[in-house]
Every structure is written in C-alpha cells, then in structure tokens.
Amino acid sequence: MSKFNDLINAINNHNPFKGRLVVKDHNVWGQGFPDEPSLNAHVSNAVYQAIEEVRSEQQKVIGITMTAERGLGKSHVISRIRHRLQVDGSALFVYMSQCNNLNRIKAEFLNTLANSLKQRGSKGVSQWQELATALINEAFKKNYTSQQLINQFSGALAKNPKVVEVLRDKVLSIKPDIQNPDILTAIIWTLSPDPAYEIFAIRWLAGGNLPQTKADAMGLANISANDQEAESFNTVRQILDLISDYKPIVVCFDEMESDHCNEIGYTARQVTAILAKDLSDKIKRGVLLTSIFPDHWIHEVKKLSNADSVVDRIAEQLIDLKYLNSDDVVTLVSRWLEEFYQEKGLIPPYTLYPFDEEKLRALGKEKPIVRKVLKWCSENFKSGIEVIEPVEHPVEPAYKQQIAALETTIQDYMEDKATLAQALRLGFNSIKGEVLENVQVLDIVDVQVKAVDRGYIDFKIVGKEKGKDVKIAVAVLQESGGLFVQATLKRLIRYKDFDLTRGCLVRSKQINKGATKAQEHLKTLLSKELGGEWVLLKPEDIKPLLALHFVMKGREDDELSEEQIIDFIHTKRIAIDNYLIREILSDPSGQVPKDAIDEENESSNMTLIEVKDVVSVASDDLFQE
C-alpha cells in the first residue's frame, strides 16, 4: 500500500478533532490537547512571572483572574500551565473545577487539594511524595530522592513499626507551627510503596475517615463528620504552609459553573471567590488563578458586599483572553495536525493538509473562539475521497472520552458520595416511565427531611410494583467511620418518617463488626419486616453512569442537549442494562454481599522475612537516626 493510501486511510478513519472540543479535568492532569504556546501567551506568561516573583520573595501571594467567554480557551491555558509546571517543577499545582456542596466548600477544597497533590509532579512521583521527601530532607539535613525513601520505607517499617512516628517527630521539631501532627504523619505515610497505605493516607488528608483499625495502625485520629467542615480550612492552611516552605503553589479555580446557590444565596462563583480571598489571606506563598466568565465577574463577584477586598486579593491582575485572528487559526490548526501526523508516522503533502489555508484564514477574520475553530476542523477533516462512514450518535465521542478517562481516575470518585449519587440519579431519571424488575419508575425525588437528617439519604425512587406504590430510598455510603455509617443506616430504616416502602444501601465495603449499633440497624434494614437491601457498589458497574454524569455536566461545552444525552442512554441501553440500576429495583435478597471489601485487612504488612526483598538505599543513615 502506498504512503498516500496510508495517509488517506488515516484521515478517513481517525479524526483528531472529533470529540475534543473541550479541555476536561483529565486533560489538565493527564495527556493534554496539542498546545500552541503563542496563543494567549500573555496569560500563561503572567502566571509564570508571578511564580518567579513568589519564588524570589518579591511578593508572598499573587491573585490572577482571567476572564473569557465560553470556548475562548481558558482551560487550554490552564492545561498548558499544569504541564509546564510538571516539567520544570517550579511550583506544585492544585486544580478545582467543581463543587458538589457549596455549603461545605472548605471540605470540598480540602478534598480537591489532597487529590490534586496525589497527581504526578516533576520528580516522577506524586506531589505528596515530593513534599514528604522535602520535609524529611530538611529535618535530617539530607538529600534523598523520593524514590530512595520509597524503596527504604517497607524495610524500615518492618524493622521499626514506629518509624513513621520517629520521622514525624523529627519533622515536627523543625515545623513547630503545625497544630495537628497527624498531618505530618499522613504525609509521611504517602511514601509507603504499599498502595493501600498510600490510599488511606491521602483519604485521611482529604478529610475522610479510615476504618478504626487502620487509623490506629497508622497513628491517625478520625474526625467526626460534624467537625469536618470546621476543621477543613485549618487543615488546608497547615498543608499549604508546609508546601510554601518548600516551593510556591499554584491554586487554580476553573469552570465553577454550578447553577445552585448555597444556603445564604451565594452562587458558585461567589462562593469560590470568597474561598480564594480567604486562601490569599491565610497562605504564606502562592499564586491564585481564577477562571470566570466576564458577566459572572461583573454581576456576581463584583456585587459581593465585600467585593473590594475580594477583588484586591484574587484579581491583582485581571486579564482578558483574546479572540483568535487569521494567523492564530493557522498556527493552532498546524499544531494539531503536526501532532496527528507525527503520531501516525505520516508526512502530509503540506502542513495544513487536508485543509485550505485560505479557508482557515477566512475563518480567522471572524475572530472565532478556539472551540469554533476545532469544531470547524472536526466537520471538515476529510480526504476528499468519498467514504461511507457509519452514523455515530452525537453523544458518543464525549461518552467515549469520559469512559477512557475513568480507566485511570475512577478510584478518585469511589469515595465521593455526592458524585456517585448524582450518577445513579441520572441513570434512574433516564428510565422514567420504563418497567424494570417489575417496577415502573415514575419519578426521582429528594427525601423531605429536617435539617438534622440532611446528607444521609440521597434520593427516593417513586414507582409502581404490581399495582402497589413503591418508594425506595437510596443511600450511597462509602464512609469508613462507624458513626456516619450508623447515622445513615438509622435513617434508612425510618420508613414512616420519610414516607418509604424500602431502603437501599449502596456500598462497596464491609461494615465493621465492632460497630454494634450500625450492625443492628443493618440487620433491621435487611429483615423480612422492612425488606431493605444492600447493593454492592463496584467500579465497573458505576463507571458508565459516572461517564454519563460527566457528559451531562459538560453538555454546554460539548454543544450537546439534555435530550440528546437521554436519547443516547436509551439507544445504548446504558441505564436499562446497568447492574446497579436493576439491582436497586429488584426484589431484595436480604443478604449482606459476600464480595464487600474488607478494609480492615486490605493492607499487606511486610514481614521481617520479606525485608531482604526490599531495595534499601543508604538505610544505615536515615532510618537509624
């Protein structure tokens, strides 16, 4: 086959622009889109300059706000900044692009901070591990690499089960301002090569609770659910202070476009702006980067009662993104095509093939947004040799992109009650009117509760089963802490109070046998009298529903309608054939799932016999002190 035929086949079968109109969260952290650094370079250069000014102590904190209409390229710029920092290591990076509960923004930010820092940094390890290494090196006046400490960790732990405590106390001696030493303990645990310990450490740092045996083994104190919001910002401040002693941090707020308001009526943009202002007041060293639409900036942020103090802190520099011109369009498209042809190992007849440069320049004269250019390219990326292409549902590319991203990120969401519940709720909303497992689903509603009962039951399915009313309460419960588990189960069995006929627990983990009250409530739920159910939550079952949830949230960016997405769910039978959807509606088994995860025994402690198999680097130095 000739090289030209290879080229034609590549163009006919692989459209590099299709389904890639919008930078998603996973593009910021993982493989980004082709980036042309000259486009809106004034924004990214301003951030790099701010980082340098903070590094050189010319300023402590710099707030930059960039304003632009939807699709102009804000997230492209953010992705560029993240990938640059991952290479040069000049700052650590935190990225927040959504908030499930505006009333608990500080707890949400702590979760974002913890999950951002578990992403890979410039040293080939997570940003948490970079921080842990810097703290240990400073305390011991050494120059270990993160990998050396990771390699030593299990062997040292086997020789001395209190080695983490020893390291923490040494670090604490040089960080006397740390109010909660457990923060240092958890950060040091991220150096464990055992994924379970690292996961537990990051979960604790994110504000979550651990199984009590794990918390005790790791020397970490669980915080009650009632205290989490109050403690979250204090924990955030201490973590950011530790990072600031090591290097600057860039905290980026992007796409905070929730339609909801918090309890006092502030929008997502206002809540975010106030949080950024509070961070500016509290952190030692960093750059705050906020992305917002111009209308939201003028009519929401600048209308705050304390607008002057907010604007002074988060918008020391207020920067507008620019619309593209003809040269920009040609440069952008050239960059995308260059990456495509390099990936395929092909050489095109000319740089912009198969596009006509004059048409691209004409498009540029309209001063388009980035998204419009990419959409035009997606629609016109053709070889000119006619082929019959299968008709693809307009939602398919966005759905496939989210499924692909979840292959590596799904564990990030398995502790996120709100996101899991929203994904399930979307699935049930899409089958309203359908009959599944003998239940006709009529509506999905919130459970009407008093303030003290909020946050436990996620939604109620209203339907008919063999002519009788069915009202199924669904509670996603991934917490490990016994008190929250007990509180949720207690409410899930109050059928009369909440107008229920059945309670359904959705959970992946076992319930601690030592949590006697929780076990009693579970037994009551699964009894013949109440006929409740425990549906086992598995990543492979929730994954398609999560993907749909993210597609629905980003539908405006992908230029999709809610109706198109619901049609896609029907056409592909994604909800109808989903195990979780069917199991929640089916006749309850009254059984505890056999495959529920036993977190109490999830970690694998290395024994002394296994120490010889551990690669130990200079272990006679650090861990002997």
Question: Residue 602: phi, psi to the nearest 5?
Answer: -75, -35
Q: What is the mean pLDDT of the segment spanning 71-94?
A: 92
The percentage of residues in the chain with a pLDDT greater than 90, rounded to a whole number, is 71
Q: Please give the Cα distance from 248 to 263 (Å, whole number).
A: 34
Does one domain contain both 339 and 463?
Answer: no
Q: How many CB atoms lie within 10 A of CB 212?
A: 16
Q: Please give the Cα distance from 316 to 58 (Å, whole number).
A: 14
* Token pair for 236: 């955030």
The percentage of residues in the chain with a pLDDT greater than 70, rounded to a whole number, is 94
Q: What is the mean pLDDT of the segment spanning 606-618?
A: 34
Does one domain contain both 420 and 372?
Answer: no
- pLDDT reported for residue 619: 41
pLDDT in tens, 482-503: 788 999 999 999 999 999 999 9
Q: Name residue 471's beta-bridge partners.
A: 462
User: 362 in a domain, yes or no?
Assistant: yes
* Token pair for 288: 């705050």
pLDDT in tens, 143-198: 999 999 999 999 999 999 999 999 999 999 999 999 999 999 999 999 999 988 99
User: 60 in a domain, yes or no?
Assistant: no
Does one domain contain both 358 and 507?
Answer: no
Does one domain contain both 459 and 556?
Answer: yes
By 3-state DSSP, what share of the chain in percent is helix, strand and coil, each rounded to 5? Answer: 50, 10, 35
SS3 sequence of 266-318: CEHHHHHHHHHHHHHHHCCCEEEEEEECHHHHHHCHHHCCCHHHHHHHHCCEE
Does one domain contain both 354 and 446?
Answer: no
Q: Please give the Cα distance from 105 to 575 (Å, whole number).
A: 31
User: 124 in a domain, yes or no?
Assistant: no
Amino acid found at 448: Q
Q: Please give the Cα distance from 573 to 582 (Å, whole number).
A: 12
Q: Please give the Cα distance from 114 to 120 (Å, whole number).
A: 12
User: 262 in a domain, yes or no?
Assistant: no
Amino acid found at 489: L
Classify residue 265 as exposed, middle or buried by CB count within 10 Å of its CB (0-12, 13-18, 19+). Answer: exposed
Helix (H, G, I), strand (E, B) or coil at 261: strand
pLDDT bin (cut points 50, 70, 90) of residue 23 is: confident
pLDDT in tens, 207-223: 998 888 889 999 999 88
pLDDT bin (cut points 50, 70, 90) of residue 3 is: confident
Which DSSP string corresponds to 459-499?
A: EEEEEEETTEEEEEEEEE-----HHHHHHHHHHHT-HHHHT
- pLDDT reported for residue 71: 84
Which residue has better confidence, 91 or 100? 91
DSSP letter (8 states) at residue 120: B
Does one domain contain both 426 and 491?
Answer: yes
User: 122 in a domain, yes or no?
Assistant: no
Q: What is the mean pLDDT of the segment spanning 296-321?
A: 94
Lowest mean pLDDT segment, chosen from 28-37, 370-379, 418-427: 28-37
Does one domain contain both 351 and 432?
Answer: no
389: pLDDT strictly greater than 80: no
Q: Please give the Cα distance from 29 to 45 (Å, whole number).
A: 20
- pLDDT reported for residue 602: 57
Does one domain contain both 437 and 359?
Answer: no
Q: Please give the Cα distance from 199 to 144 (Å, whole number).
A: 23
Which residue has better confidence, 13 or 321? 321
User: 468 in a domain, yes or no?
Assistant: yes
pLDDT bin (cut points 50, 70, 90) of residue 599 is: confident
Does one domain contain both 460 and 584?
Answer: yes
Q: What is the mean pLDDT of the segment spanning 12-38?
A: 82
Does one domain contain both 492 and 568?
Answer: yes
- pLDDT reported for residue 360: 95
Does one domain contain both 490 and 358?
Answer: no
Q: Please give the Cα distance from 95 to 446 (Å, whole number).
A: 30
The chain-wide mean pLDDT, for the chain, equals 89
Q: Please give the Cα distance from 337 to 378 (Å, whole number).
A: 12
621: pLDDT strictly greater than 80: no
Structural domains in the chain (count): 2
pLDDT bin (cut points 50, 70, 90) of residue 605 is: very low
Q: What pairing do the DSSP bridges indicate for beta strands 92-96 and 249-253? A: parallel
pLDDT bin (cut points 50, 70, 90) of residue 390 is: low
SS3 sequence of 52-83: HHHHCCCCCEEEEEEECCCCCCHHHHHHHHHH
Residues 6+ apart with CB under 8 A from 217: 603
pLDDT in tens, 92-129: 999 998 787 888 899 999 999 999 999 999 889 999 99
pLDDT in tens, 203-262: 999 999 888 888 999 999 988 776 777 789 999 999 999 999 999 999 999 877 777 788
Strand ordering across the sheet containing 502-507: 435-436, 439-445, 459-465, 468-476, 502-507, 533-536
Domain containing 346 equals 3-22+323-380
pLDDT bin (cut points 50, 70, 90) of residue 384 is: low
405: pLDDT strictly greater than 80: yes
Does one domain contain both 362 and 510?
Answer: no
pLDDT bin (cut points 50, 70, 90) of residue 366 is: very high
- pLDDT reported for residue 607: 34
User: 483 in a domain, yes or no?
Assistant: yes
User: 482 in a domain, yes or no?
Assistant: yes
Smallest Cα–Cα separation from 601: which of 479, 512, 505? 512
